[in-house]
Amino acid sequence: MTSTRPYLLRALYDWIVDNDMTPHVLVDATAEYVEVPRQYVEDDKIVLNIATDAVRDLEIGSEFLSFNARFAGKPQNILTPIKAVLAIYARENGKGMLFPEEETDTGYGTDPGGPTEPSAPLKKPHLKIIK
């Protein structure tokens, strides 16, 4: 099943922009494939302004968030996997969403090798006709 994160990220971005607010994303700068200016990273995280007037070529894809922006007047390409985006919110009021850690298990139990057998046999449903 595909992740809901890119869909929610796009929807919240649209909602923030439609309400004339400034969208910011919080990114885990330690995640693999994150390309951000390291001098602005604090506590292994970076906040990025992704407003339409702050970035160029913004793309919120299924796997990556990318755009061009200026940091201290120097243009830089920013690339981050969607799973490294920890939150999106409006600067003006803080409303947005903090994303949960990505689920990787299959829902069948704790053994990554595959599904586990139920501990007790399942009972068949019992229906009764009431007149």
Report pLDDT for 128: 66
The number of folded domains in the chain is 1
Contact 99, 5 (CB under 8 A): yes
Query: Do the domain assignments include residue 116?
Result: no
Query: Do the domain assignments include residue 112?
Result: no
Query: In 10 A of CB 27, how many CB atoms?
Result: 22
Query: Do the domain assignments include residue 108?
Result: no
Between CA 55 and CA 62, with CA 61 as vertex, the angle to 5 degrees is 150
Report pLDDT for 119: 52
Report pLDDT for 102: 64
Query: In 10 A of CB 111, how many CB atoms?
Result: 10
Tens-digit pLDDT string for the chain (131 aa): 888 999 999 999 999 999 999 999 999 999 999 999 999 999 999 999 999 999 999 999 999 999 999 999 999 999 999 999 999 999 999 999 999 876 543 333 344 444 445 555 555 555 667 76
Query: Do the domain assignments include residue 56?
Result: yes
Query: Do the domain assignments include residue 35?
Result: yes
The CATH number of residue 68's host domain is: 2.30.30.220
- Retrieve residue 93's tokens: 């009021």
Its domain, for residue 31, covers 5-98
- Report d(CA 9, CA 24) in Å as an integer: 11
